[in-house]
Structure 1
Amino acid sequence: MTAEMTREELPAVRFRAIEPEDLDVLYKIENDTSLWNVGVTNVPYSKYMLHEYIAGSSGDIYADKQVRMIISNDAGDIVGLVDLTDFDPRHRRAELGIVIQCPFRGRHYAQAAIERIKAYARDILLIHQLYAYVDCQNSTALRTFENCGFISSITLKDWLFDGKKYREAVLMQYFL
């Protein structure tokens, strides 16, 4: 599978709301310190806090200004999480975040999920723009977003801090 891969060649993915039964998976992903360097999390989450998040989320992007969903495959395995955050209804844009669990990485699930969230954002949410901040050193993520039609807009100096040094990030944008 290459950059020229069609949507039909990508693995099938489905999105669904996060359920209380997903607490252990959410706990594992949110507390994976290797992911903290590419996001805004820098403290561990308790199961209680995550349970309260699941219980308190309306699932309505207009009310919560975000929506987070489970990504699953045809076998029903939880492949990862996708979220739209910092939703701005006036300017019709949202930040895209995606995490694929280790056993499913390198199998094009991220590309499949990004293609699906693009369609959801365009057809259901009527969003004009998706964007993501990607670590300049994460060549896999950069290539995946580029394969999904995202363009590099700007390089942000010293944007990400890994606890020892700052790294650059690229603002990737997709216009629907």
Structure 2
Amino acid sequence: MVKLKGKKVLLRALEPEDLDFLYLLENDTDLWEISGTQYPYSRHVLKQYLDNAHRDIYEVKQLRLAICDLKGQRMGLIDLFDFNPKHERVGLGLVILDQEKRNKGFGAEAVDLVTGYAFSTLNVRQVFAHVLEDNMPSINLFEKLGFIKTGIKKDWIRWQGTYKDQYLYQKFNPICT
């Protein structure tokens, strides 16, 4: 059985009390470049999302988990998205909202835990991530964890009048290769 608890972090399902945290995260305009968000989310809409967050990944094709330290303090979110059981793949997204927790191994452990979950529980062959060309912390993180840059989408993201390349990173299940 895959544990969603490591030496530094615990990954858990979203709870109704995560509403304020989700509201801060989704409305942080500094994150809109990577998330593709173009307008703020209301608490009402986010509450509806939380009310449905229990739905099965096979039905909704995504899973969002809170990243907490071992004391239960939320610091970020990790998402599995575009889950495709037929092609045995799933996307991964990560955000550590707490600036003081970045680059301290929390994100790496969260990615490692959720990748293990995807390989062993969801039985995917690969996990992929999209990373902007100038996001060096994420590039370093994924490469450190064995993800391979397999593609470049040229001028893929337009943000504030500038185009940026987006890299495709993939990690393959060692059991399937």
The separation in 1 between residues aligned to 2:12 and 2:160, in whole angstroms, is 34
Task: Give the structure 1 partner of residue 91 of structure 2.
Answer: 95
Q: Work out whether residues 57 and 64 of structure 1, in 8 Å CA contact, stay in contact via their aligned partners in 2.
A: no
The answer to whether 1:73 aligns with 2:69 is yes
The answer to whether 1:143 aligns with 2:143 is no
The separation in 1 between residues aligned to 2:94 and 2:110, in whole angstroms, is 8
Task: Give the structure 1 partner of residue 107 of structure 2.
Answer: 110
Q: Work out whether residues 131 and 169 of structure 2, in 8 Å CA contact, stay in contact via their aligned partners in 1.
A: yes
| AA matched with 1:66 | Q
Runs of 4+ that moved beyond 3 A: none
TM-score (norm 1): 0.91
Count of paired positions: 167
Task: Give the structure 2 partner of residue 131 of structure 1.
Answer: 128
The separation in 2 between residues aligned to 1:45 and 1:107, in whole angstroms, is 29
Give the CA deviation at 1:40. 2.2
Q: Work out whether residues 23 and 46 of structure 2, in 8 Å CA contact, stay in contact via their aligned partners in 1.
A: yes
The answer to whether 1:50 aligns with 2:46 is yes
The answer to whether 1:164 aligns with 2:161 is yes
Decide which of 82, 85, 106 is 1:86's aligned counterpart: 82
The separation in 2 between residues aligned to 1:74 and 1:80, in whole angstroms, is 13
Give the CA deviation at 1:33. 0.8
The separation in 1 between residues aligned to 2:145 and 2:36, in whole angstroms, is 24
The answer to whether 1:41 aligns with 2:41 is no
Residue 21 of structure 1 aligns to a residue whose secondary structure is helix
| AA matched with 2:37 | T
Residue 54 of structure 2 aligns to a residue whose secondary structure is coil
Structure 2 portions without partners, runs of 5+: 1-5
The separation in 2 between residues aligned to 1:11 and 1:163, in whole angstroms, is 39
| AA matched with 1:71 | I
Q: Work out whether residues 92 and 126 of structure 1, in 8 Å CA contact, stay in contact via their aligned partners in 2.
A: yes
Q: Work out whether residues 16 and 69 of structure 1, in 8 Å CA contact, stay in contact via their aligned partners in 2.
A: yes
| AA matched with 2:15 | E
The separation in 1 between residues aligned to 2:45 and 2:101, in whole angstroms, is 26
TM-score (norm 2): 0.90
The separation in 1 between residues aligned to 2:39 and 2:160, in whole angstroms, is 13
Deviations 1:139-158 (A, max 9, x none): 11100000111000111111
- Identify which range, 48-57 or 10-19, moves more after superposition: 10-19
Give the CA deviation at 1:58. 3.0
Q: Among all aligned residue pairs of Structure 1 and Structure 2, give the percentage whose two residues are the same amino acid.
A: 39
Task: Give the structure 2 partner of residue 173 of structure 1.
Answer: 170
| AA matched with 2:52 | G
The separation in 1 between residues aligned to 2:138 and 2:52, in whole angstroms, is 31
